[in-house]
Chains A and B, each alone.
Chain A
Amino acid sequence: MSTLLDFPDEIAARIVNFVGFPGILSLHQVCHDLRNFIDDTKPDWKLDSLNIIFSREDIIIRCIQNQKSYTIKYEISDQNGLLRDLGTCMKFQKSALKTFTIIGQIPEDFHLKLGGTIRTKTQKLNLQVENQDQILHILPCFNSDVLKDVDLSDASRGPIEKSIKIDKVVELEQWKKARNLSISCFLTFLSSSTFRKLTYKSIDDSRFLSESLGPFYTDPYEPHELNWYFRYPNSEECLRIIWTSDYQVIVFQKERVDEMPDEAALQN
């Protein structure tokens, strides 16, 4: 009796492609020959997004492909299984992912292990971290020419004003090239980069902002937003700092001077 691998290559390839994602992940573990065969056929999964969600009981990979959502569940102890499948996922993902998310109760050593497993083209990274080292493990896995948005948030669920060092992170190509950076905790150090927009979350007191930044401008239609404008030396662009009381978010954004509201003051 013939088996799957006795078929001519084009038939076996047809079947493997019909199996598609996520069935190929299991197929890939069946045996050497099938694994080699799948590797040779180099399927392109065209995933849109990949999310890894840690909870107390389990780990979930949630993928969006072709507007369909797929969920793969792992025991919390089966980090190796998760990493193996993530490696396979990334191997067969030729197009760029729109988003890559890692959130939840992430085990301390996971960032290091993941950093050794994946290389990916992704436009937006959502990452929960507790310290700089974790960012340093993960961020270099992302192709800096593709990564546009980096959203870092605090995984520790500790005090809101926790600080995190990013003095080494800012040296990374990925950080320098990202256009939108969003950070939900205070930073003790920040250097300039080519960002268009930088967001900090959980800043709940506007007083110290107006003390240090001077008089602000408020658009009558956006009464919850305080705005400051600073001119860049020898440039048609200015730095707009926005603090939103609704979300307790502060945003740094580059804008053109001629797009400023007339009533707002431009500080030097």
Chain B
Amino acid sequence: MSVENAPVVDVDEAAIPVEKKMYYRFESNDKKEFRVSELAIQQSETLNRLVEAMGYTSEDVENKPAIAIENIDGKTLKLVFQWCEHHKGEAIPVDDGSVPKIVEIPEFDAKLMDIDNGLLFKLIWAADYLNIVQLLNVSCKKVANMAQGKTPAQLRRVYLLPSDEEDEAAKRAAQEAQDPRAREVEEEFEERKRQGGNSFF
């Protein structure tokens, strides 16, 4: 895509030089291709550094293969880039590792994240991997909001977590699968106890 055909970017022309308005091509791990504006890419620290390091010209973008993003699928990457395009040019919050106190979910983001939990969790993984701070904030906030007013049993379903009992059963099963002899020894011990034997050894 040439510079002339690029959608109008609604930012101050003086602040963003004309040659900055270029696009990059990315490919998901299931071979879906996306064209993303450079300004949108700036929302992702990881991708921004990558394209800066590559130093592509507009011709390179068209002639060379799309940049592969190995561990994100097309469905998730589509959401990520939709988010980046919508929020391009916005200030990026400084991520100092602390949790921001107040995060509001804008209407656009709420609609974008009106998806099943599996996809939402993938979106969080992607936001973390691509280091998109504000997308990570809103997606984590959305997951947190899902917890409000729920009982522990409901939360287990929402967050796909086992109860203590299920967890213990699973751990026991895993242990037994690993060491069948341990189970046999235990059974033998129980049997001897039942028979009133004083010494096992």
Binding site for B on A (CB under 8 A): 1-5, 7-8, 10-11, 13-20, 23, 26-27, 29-34
Contact = CB atoms under 8 A, between A and B. Distances in A.
A19 B143 CA distance: 8
B interface SS class? helix
A4 B128 contact: no
Contacts of A15: 140, 143-144
B99 interface: yes
Given A2-B121, A11-B128, A26-B152, A31 B167 contact: yes
Contacts of B137: 14
Nearest to A34: B161
Interface residues of B, number: 31
Contacts of B152: 26-27, 29-30
Contacts of B103: 18
Nearest to B159: A4
Given A14-B136, A18-B143, A23-B147, 20 more contacts: A1-B121, A4-B159, A4-B160, A7-B121, A8-B128, A11-B124, A11-B128, A11-B140, A14-B137, A15-B143, A17-B144, A19-B144, A19-B148, A20-B144, A23-B149, A26-B150, A27-B147, A27-B152, A29-B152, A30-B163
A186 B124 CA distance: 62
30 contacts: A1-B118, A1-B121, A2-B121, A4-B159, A4-B160, A4-B161, A5-B159, A7-B128, A10-B97, A11-B128, A14-B136, A14-B137, A15-B140, A15-B144, A17-B144, A18-B99, A19-B148, A20-B144, A23-B144, A26-B150, A26-B152, A26-B155, A27-B147, A27-B152, A27-B155, A29-B152, A30-B156, A31-B164, A31-B167, A34-B161
